[in-house]
Amino acid sequence: MPALPFLDDLPRFLFFTGKGGVGKTSLACATAVQLAGQGRRILLTSTDPASNVGQVFGVTVGNTITPVPTVPGLDALEIDPQQAADAYRATIIDPVRDLLPADEVSAMTEQLSGACTTEIASFNEFTSLLADESATAAYDHVLFDTAPTGHTVRLLRLPGEWTSYLSDGKGDVSCLGPVAGLDRLRHDYAGALAALPDPTRTRLVLVTRPQPSSLREAATTYGELRDLGMTNAHLVVNGLMPEYAVTSTPMDELAHAVRSREEAALAAVPAAVAALPRAVLPLLPFNTVGVPALRSLLEPDVASRQTPIAEIATLPTGFTGLPHLVDQLEADGPGLVMCMGKGGVGKTTVAAAVALELASRGHEVLLTTTDPAAHLDETLLADVPHLTVERIDPRAAIEGYRERVMAGKGKDLDEAGRAVLAEDLKSPCTDEVAVFQQFSHVVFRARKQFVVLDTAPTGHTLLLLDATGSYHREITRQMSEGAHFVTPLMRLQDPTRTKVLVVTLPETTPVLEAEELQDDLARAGITPWAWVVNGSLTAAAPRSPFLRARARAEADALGQISTLCRRVAVLPLLAHEPVGVAALSELTRPAANPFLPTSRSHP
């Protein structure tokens, strides 16, 4: 059995956090099962908009505490972001609906319609569990299966930031609603702020994969949360390929390459988390769905992990390779190609590969990103003819945005008014909006050339789209009837000008998150043009019995994807990292794979 120091001397609250797809939900559920099996009362709470806790246990879990019948002593709760947002808006707007003019009520509703408000509404329910002792008095431990890292850091920062903001605010309207109406939240936020850094009450479990990017993300997250005082942290490396999976198939290059990459990653764990107590959990040959599978995650038995030789899994009918997508992009001519998805699914790789192939065919291509953590230069490792690489700098955009607002809206305000405006511009919800003008410029450049945009992880991108929608509605109101105009949102909604590629992994959680993204885009009037499934073992056609079993475990996720989009490209899991021009070019060349149709070849 692996050593599990994160379960020793448990405090009351445990937070499981990490990038999407690293196994946070599986580990949180497995921990809940083990603790409940020891006779403890457990409340498992998900703050992830794409939560699949209910699916793991085979029970419907919603926004009310629900017993898990197969695990005595375990209750579960999934905070529904949309339901929480609806209720939150009602608490702000309903008391003043009959007291204010209709246009002011409409303005408030607009202000409270974005993804930022949804985050805050969910967070209010989360803080109540930390601050209200009576709400969790029946439980020995409360486990939080959090949203992917970026959202978690954002939310955990809010108690401190909004406690300060509520103390200094003067009653203006923010994306949270009238500041004067938020004072009632001060007690819960202060309670959460007291609980989070207390090591006797709270432990942070950083879940990662044995991959450099995932480990770097864990280190970054820990650094940011440590600044909040959360020092009681443990590292759990999930999904290490077991040694027997390699030794049993000496001729499988992919199995050996994956194991070697993972060992190298563990030998170079970032210094920020290297000294943390660590547990390493093996990759299992099956999905961790159901109580027996969850128990095996923390109590792996070698015999149960041995699998017979599996037949080669096959991809759903109609799936294709990335070369086919590039052919179709080229045929439609210049436009915007947006790679969207959660962090860690390979958006940067897909964006770089598509841009590189279009440039190699002689087209002028701009490759850019809105992701502050993206490193396009490190992915390409070379200058390429016809390819320009840029980056939208969020820090510079935010600073410029604040300066423009202060110089414009704040010009005629008195000193007290300018102070209120400056404070409002420091709110935790304005940063992504500040990137909007640079983003709009990129959108319009796509009129005359191919622009491939590697977006920030989903939550940040949706905030940006919220700003795009607000801008569109404002322009529409201001323009005279019959006037011709084209806003950035109109370009994003036009499939002849914008192709959205939803990038995901062939695993349950990433697919659920991608489906949630597609639903959010639909509400903005945007339809994804294609899905790209990255890192598929099915497409890699491995020889290893263990990897073939893992490939079969992709079947449900791939089947679900086939129902969500009619155009799907699959990239195989590679024996080498797709870094550098040569490696990236392989992704857009005819694949030596029996399951993917080949595309025409280009010099």
Q: How far, in Å, CA of 167 to CA of 319, rounded? A: 55
User: What's the farthest any 2 CA atoms get from each other in the chain?
Assistant: 76
SS3 call for 62: coil
Q: Contact, 321 vs 596, CB < 8 A?
A: yes
Euclidean distance between CA atoms 63 and 77, whole angstroms: 6
Catalytic pick among 26, 47, 468, 504 = 26
* 202 is annotated as an active-site residue: no
Beta strands in 379-480 (DSSP E): 387-389, 450-454
Tokens of 195: 């609980």
- Residue 222 in contact with residue 256, Cβ under 8 Å? no
Q: How are strands ordered across the β-sheet holding 530-536? A: 387-389, 365-369, 450-454, 336-340, 498-504, 530-536, 568-572
Length of the chain: 603
Give CA–CA dist 309/547, Å, rounded: 10
Selected catalytic residue, list 24, 342, 347, 499 = 24
* Whole-angstrom distance, CA of residue 312 vs CA of residue 539: 10
Which pair of tokens denotes residue 318? 């109609």
- In the chain, the amino acid numbered 603 is P
Q: Is 24 a catalytic residue?
A: yes
Instruction: Label residues 387-410 b or e (16+ Cβ within 10 Å = b).
Output: bebebbebeebbeebbeebeeeeb
CA pair distance 200, 290, nearest whole angstrom: 31
How far apart are the C-alpha atoms of 407 and 345, rounded to whole Å? 40
Active site residue 19: no
Reading the block at residue 205, the tokens are 């479990």
Q: How far apart are CA 534 and CA 264, in angstroms?
A: 22
How far apart are the C-alpha atoms of 318 and 559, rounded to whole Å? 11
The C-alpha atoms of residue 195 and residue 13 are separated, in whole angstroms, by 9
CA-closest candidate to residue 424, choices 165, 40, 116: 165
Burial pattern 229-239, b for ≥16 Cβ within 10 A else e, equals ebebbbbbbbb
Q: Is 7 helix (H, G, I), strand (E, B) or coil?
A: helix
Q: How far apart are CA 79 and CA 123, in angstroms?
A: 9
Question: Looking at 45, 48, 455, 508, which residue is catalytic?
Answer: 48
Phi, psi of 499 (to 5 degrees): -115, 115
Q: Name the helix (H) or strand (E) containing 273.
A: helix 271-274
CA distances, 157 to each of 81, 119, 145, 193, 539 (Å)? 18, 12, 17, 9, 41
CA angle 225, 76, 230 (to 5 degrees): 15
- Nearest CA-CA partner of 431 in 144, 154, 230, 176: 154
- Among residues 17, 25, 117, 455, the one annotated as catalytic is 25
Q: Tell me which of 117, 249, 369, 509 is the catalytic residue.
A: 509
| Residue 506, phi then psi, degrees to nearest 5 | -80, 55
Q: Is 48 in the active site?
A: yes
Neighbouring CB atoms inside 10 A of 565's CB total: 17
Q: Which residues are catalytic?
A: 21, 23-26, 48, 509
